[in-house]
């Protein structure tokens, strides 16, 4: 049962800074200075503990920056959650090749998603394995991620979310409240033809 004004699945995909988006100015991004008050306040002030149901799951997309990873771990800790798994999304071209070479000092063909929950419910998510890899061809439009809620459900790792929340979202899903600058942008008929 979902409590009023709370969510059993929360997906957060912050607009982390990266070279491509910064150069193309595709959308507003967070500074890579994670000690800056604007980033810190924006993310740490999201009241995740009160938004997440007791047995809810948090999914947090991050880039492959070690600074961002450490910042995300601190966020999870500040929200009084426990990290239960880290997955990677490997991005391929239609030919089956990775979208770029593995070059850790510059760019890598994958993104990372962290899963966390309240400490007393870790056992509820034991089926979510650590170091799992999703492989797919990314959408042509920047930052469109695979619909992780559908994937988790299809893999029988969670029950169908009854009340989900997506922050910094870029598309709409049934039974989800989505907040973000680009939510409506991809609802245009053009994207469904």
| Paired sense of beta strands 164-167 and 7-12, if any | parallel
Residue 104 pLDDT > 90, yes or no?
Answer: no
- The model's confidence at residue 163, banded by pLDDT at 50, 70 and 90, is very high
Does residue 164 contact residue 175 with C-beta atoms inside 8 Å? yes
Residue 52 pLDDT > 50, yes or no?
Answer: yes
Quick: pLDDT tens for 60-92: 999 888 899 999 999 999 999 999 999 998 888
pTM of the full structure = 0.84
Helix or strand holding residue 38 (H, E): helix 37-44
Tell me what the mean pLDDT of segment 51-68 comes to: 94
The pLDDT, as a whole number, for residue 1 is: 46
Which of 12-26, 139-153, 165-179 has the largest mean confidence? 165-179
The pLDDT, as a whole number, for residue 34 is: 47
Q: What is the pLDDT of the chain when averaged over all its residues? A: 83
User: Most distant CA pair in the chain: distance in Å?
Assistant: 46
- The model's confidence at residue 20, banded by pLDDT at 50, 70 and 90, is low
The class that CATH gives domain 7-192 is alpha beta
Strand order in the sheet with 52-62: 132-136, 82-91, 110-117, 52-62, 7-12, 164-167, 176-179
Residue 127 pLDDT > 80, yes or no?
Answer: yes
Q: What are phi and psi of 152, to 5 degrees?
A: -60, -40
- The model's confidence at residue 30, banded by pLDDT at 50, 70 and 90, is low
Residue in 189, 117, 182 with CA at minimum distance from that of residue 145? 182
């Amino acid at each position: 049962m979902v409590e009023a004004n709370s969510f059993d699945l929360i997906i957060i995909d912050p607009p982390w800074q990266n070279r491509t988006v910064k150069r193309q100015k595709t959308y507003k991004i967070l500074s890579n200075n994670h000690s800056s008050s604007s980033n810190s306040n924006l993310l740490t002030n999201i009241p995740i503990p009160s938004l997440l149901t007791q047995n809810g799951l948090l999914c947090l997309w991050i880039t492959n920056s070690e600074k961002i990873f450490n910042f995300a771990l601190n966020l999870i800790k500040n929200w009084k959650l426990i990290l239960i798994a880290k997955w990677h999304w490997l991005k391929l071209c239609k030919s089956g090749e990775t979208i770029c070479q593995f070059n850790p000092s510059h760019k890598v063909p994958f993104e990372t998603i962290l899963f966390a929950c309240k400490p007393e419910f870790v056992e509820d998510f034991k089926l979510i394995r650590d170091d799992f890899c999703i492989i797919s061809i990314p959408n042509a439009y920047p930052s469109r991620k695979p619909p992780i809620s559908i994937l988790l459900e299809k893999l029988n790792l969670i029950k169908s979310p009854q009340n989900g929340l997506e922050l910094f979202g870029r598309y709409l899903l049934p039974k989800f409240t989505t907040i973000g600058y680009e939510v409506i942008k991809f609802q245009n008929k053009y994207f469904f033809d």
